[in-house]
């Protein structure tokens, strides 16, 4: 083989190799230009965190192939069927700070457990009123019922206004007890019996602190405002609840 042929063959191989190197370099530069700043692992982690943090409704969870939890389904039902209570503030921290520690713990549980299935505003701004008779000390259910019934009878004589307007007060001997037990029976409720008792004690004590006595007038104005605002925002739902006497 002549030296000129060898040189020509070498030049062809060299040129092909150079062309390959240039092509790879160009592709690398393009990819680098298109890629967002940051390390690949950091970018993937950030994307994953954003996706996880994005709120999803039960319907959205189903669309993504996942099934909504029982608690999510209950919460969706609650959001679709609002009450005037829901328009109140989600926190009453400033007031609760003055309560005994056991009742403060019950308040925290309202925000942690009750909020699984509905807004915490629903019980916090409810018209429900159950007499407080030192419930945490009265262990016997029959004795407690006797004390509460006597208190209701006393209120009917001394405070008849508590029984005149159901949109402001619904006073009954065990109304909060029934409410908490009903919440416990709902699908997806992760509330222990001990937690339920603490929530019940708080709701009873709190309703006697914020809804009657020296707080009666301010509570009445507060409830009237909630119902008025609710009527403006949800006129059809308002009519529905008014007919049921469930505002």
Q: For the segment 195-236, what is each residue's pLDDT rounded down to a tens digit?
A: 999 999 999 999 999 999 999 999 999 999 999 999 999 999
What's the rounded Cα separation, in Å, for the pair 120 and 153? 30
What's the rounded Cα separation, in Å, for the pair 25 and 178? 74
Comparing CA positions, the residue from 18, 85, 123, 9 lying closest to residue 241 is 85
Query: How many angstroms separate the Cα of 225 from the Cα of each of 122, 233, 239?
Result: 15, 12, 17
What's the rounded Cα separation, in Å, for the pair 203 and 211? 11
The pLDDT, as a whole number, for residue 29 is 36
The pLDDT, as a whole number, for residue 66 is 74
Low-confidence ranges of the chain (pLDDT < 70): 1-65
Q: In the 3-class helix/strand/coil scheme, how is 138-189 assigned residue by residue?
A: CCCHHHHHHHHHHHHHHHHHHCHHHHCCCCCCEECCCHHHHHHHHHHCCCCC
Q: Is the dihedral of CA 126, 132, 137, 138 positive or negative?
A: negative
Q: With beta carbons less than 8 A apart as the criterion, state whether 175 and 211 touch.
A: no
How does pLDDT run across 174-186, given as a tens digit for each residue?
A: 999 999 999 888 8
What's the rounded Cα separation, in Å, for the pair 97 and 104? 7
Comparing CA positions, the residue from 46, 48, 125 lying closest to residue 83 is 125
The 10 Å CB-count burial string (b at 16+, else e) for 78-104 is beeebbbbbbbeeebeeebeebeeebb
Please name the residues in contact with 94: beta carbons below 8 A apart, sequence gap of 6 or more.
none
The pLDDT, as a whole number, for residue 16 is 52
Phi–psi pair at 171, nearest 5 degrees: -90, 120
What's the farthest any 2 CA atoms get from each other in the chain?
Answer: 126
Backbone conformation region of residue 38, classed left if phi is above 0, alpha if psi is from -120 to 50, else beta: left
The pLDDT, as a whole number, for residue 212 is 97
Q: What is the token pair recorded at 206?
A: 């709190």
Phi–psi pair at 159, nearest 5 degrees: -135, 65
The pLDDT, as a whole number, for residue 65 is 56
The pLDDT, as a whole number, for residue 239 is 96
pTM greater than the 0.85 cutoff: no
Q: With beta carbons less than 8 A apart as the criterion, state whether 217 and 98 touch.
A: no
């Amino acid at each position: 083989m002549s030296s000129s042929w060898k040189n020509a063959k070498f030049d062809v191989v060299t040129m092909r190799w150079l062309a390959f190197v240039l092509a790879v370099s160009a592709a690398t530069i393009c990819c680098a230009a298109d890629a967002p700043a940051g390390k690949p692992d950091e970018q993937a982690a950030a994307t994953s965190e954003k996706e996880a943090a994005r709120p999803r409704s039960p319907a959205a969870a189903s669309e993504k192939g996942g099934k909504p939890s029982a608690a999510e389904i209950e919460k969706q039902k609650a959001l679709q069927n609002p009450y005037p209570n829901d328009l109140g503030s989600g926190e009453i921290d400033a007031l609760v700070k003055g309560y005994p520690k056991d009742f403060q713990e019950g308040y925290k549980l309202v925000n942690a457990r009750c909020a699984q299935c509905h807004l915490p505003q629903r019980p916090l701004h409810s018209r429900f009123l159950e007499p407080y008779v030192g419930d945490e000390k009265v262990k016997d259910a029959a004795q407690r019922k006797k004390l509460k019934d006597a208190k209701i009878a006393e209120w009917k004589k001394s405070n008849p206004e508590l029984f005149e307007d159901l949109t402001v007060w619904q006073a009954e001997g065990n109304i909060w007890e029934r409410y908490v037990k009903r919440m416990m029976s709902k699908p997806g409720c992760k509330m222990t019996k001990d937690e339920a008792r603490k929530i019940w004690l708080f709701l009873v004590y709190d309703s006697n602190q914020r809804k009657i006595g020296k707080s009666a007038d301010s509570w009445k104005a507060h409830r009237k405002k909630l119902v008025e605002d609710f009527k403006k925002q949800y006129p059809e739902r308002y009519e529905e609840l008014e007919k049921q006497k469930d505002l």
